[in-house]
C-alpha cells in the first residue's frame, strides 16, 4: 500500500474511486463547511481524482496567491476540471508563459480601453431592457443573454446575432462538463456534450480570427490579438488567439451573470437596500456609468461587494504543488493539490458578522469587515492571477443595475427557495424569478 503523504493533515480521502467528488458537485458549500467544523481551517479532500489540502484562512490565501517560490501551478491545478474544455486561457498558464500572454492582453483592459467600452455596454443594455415587459422574468437567463451580447460587442467587436443562442448553449455545455464525475466522452454524456460545445466555440472564434486577419487592425480585443506578434515578430498562433478568446468570453459573461443575478435577487428581497441603490443611480440622470463614477456610487458598490462576498464568481482556486511547499506552517508534498476557497472564506464566522446575511453596510466606513486582512475578501483572486477584467466587470455590473433600477422596481418571493449551486460558476438550481414593475 503506498505511503499516505498527507497523513499529517486532518480529514479523509472520501469514498473509494470518487473521493468527495459527488458531495462537491451536489453541495460544495456544505461539504467544505462540514470539513471546517470537523477539522478546522486546514483539511484534506479528494475531488475529481485530485487529492489536496484546502486552506480557509486569509493568511494562507495570501501565501498561495502570491506564491513567492513559484511552485504552485494554476495550470495543473485546473487541469482536472476546466483544463480540457478551456485550455490555455490565462488562468491555465503559469509563471513566465502566463506573464507574456497577460502582457499582450493587458492593453485591452487599460483605463483608456475601459472608458472606450462604456458606450457599447450601455447601448447593448438599453437594447435588451427596452423591450423588457412588466411581470415575472428569470433574472439569471436575462442577465446571461445580456452579458454575452455585451462581451461580444466589447471584445469581439460584433454582435453574435443568430449565433448568440448557439454560442450560449456551447458555453453552458462546456461549463457543465468541467465538473462531471464521468469524464469519458461516451455518447449522451455530459462530458461529450461539453467537448462538442468546446469544438463549436473553437469553430466560431477560429472563423472570426481568420476574418480579422484579412482586415485592417481595429480597436476590439479580438482584432488586437489577431494582429499581435510574439517576441520574434511572428503572429500569435491561431490556436492561442482562439483559446484566449474562448476563455475570456466565458469569464466576461458567465461570472458577471452570477454576480448580477445574486445582486438583483438580494436587492429584490431587501427593498430598503434597493431604495438606496435606486436613489443613487437615478441621480445620474440617465448618464452612462463610467469608471469615474465608482467613488460616487457608494451604495451600489457595497451591494455589489456583498453579492460577490456571498457568491464569489470563482468559489475555488486550485493549485498543484510542483515541489514540497509550506503554507502557514503546513507542509504540502509535491504532486498534491492546494486549494483556496473564497466561497468558505467569505462566510467564515470567525471573520464576518452574521456571514449568511445580506448586509452591504459591512463594507461601509466604520465597519469595513473586509479590511481585517488583505486577503479576506478575494472575489477576483489575487497575485499574478488576479482577474485581468475585474474593472470591466465592475463597470458592467453597475451600468446594468443602474439602467434597470433607474425606472423600474424588482420584487421577489422570499418563499421561492432559490438555491445557488456554487460550482463551477454560481448558478441557480432552478428559475430565479423576479417581478419587474
Q: Kindly state the cell numbers that stand for 33.
A: 463547511
Rounded to whole angstroms, the Cα distance separating 80 from 194 reads 14
Phi, psi (rounded to 5 degrees) for 374: -60, -25
pLDDT of residue 199: 94
Using alpha carbons only, give the angle 367, 371, 376 rounded to the nearest 5 degrees. Answer: 125
Phi, psi (rounded to 5 degrees) for 43: -155, 165
pLDDT along the chain (437 residues), means of 10: 86 93 94 97 95 98 98 95 88 93 83 84 92 92 93 83 83 88 87 94 93 88 85 86 90 90 98 97 89 85 98 96 98 97 98 98 97 98 94 93 95 93 92 95
Rounded to whole angstroms, the Cα distance separating 349 from 393 reads 28
pLDDT of residue 287: 87
Q: Is 237 annotated as a binding residue?
A: no
Residues making up the chain, counted from first to last: 437
Q: How far is CA 65 from CA 40, 178, 183, 394, in A?
A: 21, 22, 28, 22
Q: What is the pLDDT of residues 324-364, one digit of tens each?
A: 999 999 999 999 999 999 999 999 999 999 999 999 999 99
Q: What is the pTM of this model?
A: 0.94
Domains of the chain (ranges plus CATH)? 21-436 (1.10.630.10)
Rounded to whole angstroms, the Cα distance separating 175 from 198 reads 9
| Closest to 260 measured CA to CA, from 134, 129, 119 | 129
472575489: which residue's cell? 379
DSSP 379: T
CB 150 within 8 A of CB 142: no
Determine the angle formed by the axes of helices 298-310 and 271-282, rounding to 10 degrees. Answer: 140
CB 209 within 8 A of CB 222: yes
pLDDT of residue 230: 77
Rounded to whole angstroms, the Cα distance separating 79 from 340 reads 16
CB 420 within 8 A of CB 311: yes
Amino acid at each position: 500500500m503506498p505511503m499516505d503523504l498527507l497523513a499529517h493533515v486532518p480529514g479523509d480521502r472520501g469514498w473509494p474511486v470518487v473521493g468527495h467528488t459527488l458531495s462537491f458537485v451536489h453541495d460544495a458549500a456544505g461539504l467544505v463547511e462540514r470539513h471546517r467544523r470537523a477539522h478546522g481551517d486546514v483539511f484534506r479532500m479528494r475531488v475529481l481524482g485530485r487529492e489536496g489540502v484546502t486552506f480557509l484562512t486569509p493568511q494562507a490565501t495570501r501565501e498561495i496567491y502570491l506564491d513567492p517560490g513559484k511552485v504552485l501551478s494554476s495550470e495543473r491545478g485546473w487541469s482536472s476540471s476546466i483544463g480540457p474544455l478551456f485550455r490555455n486561457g490565462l488562468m491555465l498558464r503559469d509563471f513566465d508563459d502566463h506573464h507574456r500572454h497577460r502582457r499582450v492582453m493587458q492593453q485591452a483592459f487599460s483605463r483608456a480601453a475601459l472608458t472606450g467600452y462604456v458606450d457599447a455596454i450601455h447601448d447593448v443594455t438599453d437594447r435588451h431592457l427596452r423591450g423588457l415587459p412588466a411581470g415575472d422574468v428569470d433574472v439569471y437567463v436575462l442577465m446571461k443573454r445580456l452579458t454575452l451580447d455585451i462581451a461580444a460587442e466589447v471584445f469581439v467587436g460584433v454582435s453574435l446575432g443568430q449565433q448568440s443562442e448557439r454560442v450560449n448553449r456551447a458555453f453552458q455545455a462546456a461549463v457543465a462538463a468541467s465538473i462531471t464525475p464521468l469524464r469519458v466522452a461516451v455518447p449522451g454524456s455530459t462530458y461529450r456534450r461539453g467537448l462538442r460545445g468546446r469544438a463549436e466555440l473553437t469553430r466560431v472564434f477560429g472563423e472570426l480570427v481568420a476574418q480579422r486577419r484579412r482586415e485592417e487592425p481595429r480597436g476590439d480585443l479580438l482584432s488586437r490579438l489577431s494582429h499581435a506578434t510574439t517576441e520574434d515578430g511572428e503572429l500569435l498562433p491561431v490556436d492561442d488567439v482562439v483559446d484566449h478568446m474562448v476563455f475570456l468570453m466565458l469569464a466576461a459573461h458567465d461570472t458577471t451573470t452570477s454576480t448580477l443575478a445574486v445582486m438583483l435577487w438580494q436587492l429584490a428581497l431587501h427593498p430598503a437596500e434597493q431604495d438606496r441603490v435606486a436613489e443613487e443611480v437615478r441621480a445620474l440622470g440617465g448618464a452612462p456609468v463610467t469608471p469615474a463614477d465608482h467613488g460616487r456610487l457608494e451604495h451600489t458598490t457595497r451591494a455589489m461587494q456583498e453579492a460577490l462576498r456571498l457568491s464569489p464568481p470563482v468559489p475555488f482556486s486550485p493549485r498543484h504543488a510542483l515541489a514540497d511547499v509550506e503554507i502557514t506552517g503546513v507542509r504540502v508534498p509535491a504532486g498534491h493539490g492546494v486549494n483556496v476557497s473564497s466561497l468558505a472564506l467569505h462566510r467564515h464566522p470567525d471573520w464576518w458578522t452574521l456571514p449568511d446575511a445580506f448586509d452591504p453596510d459591512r463594507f461601509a466606513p466604520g465597519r469595513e469587515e473586509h479590511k481585517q486582512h488583505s486577503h479576506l475578501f478575494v472575489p477576483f483572486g489575487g497575485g499574478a492571477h488576479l482577474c485581468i477584467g475585474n474593472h470591466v466587470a465592475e463597470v458592467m455590473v453597475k451600468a446594468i443595475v443602474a439602467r434597470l433600477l433607474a425606472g423600474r422596481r424588482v420584487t421577489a418571493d422570499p418563499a421561492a427557495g432559490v438555491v445557488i449551486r456554487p460550482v463551477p460558476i454560481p448558478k441557480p438550481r432552478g428559475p430565479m424569478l423576479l417581478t419587474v414593475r
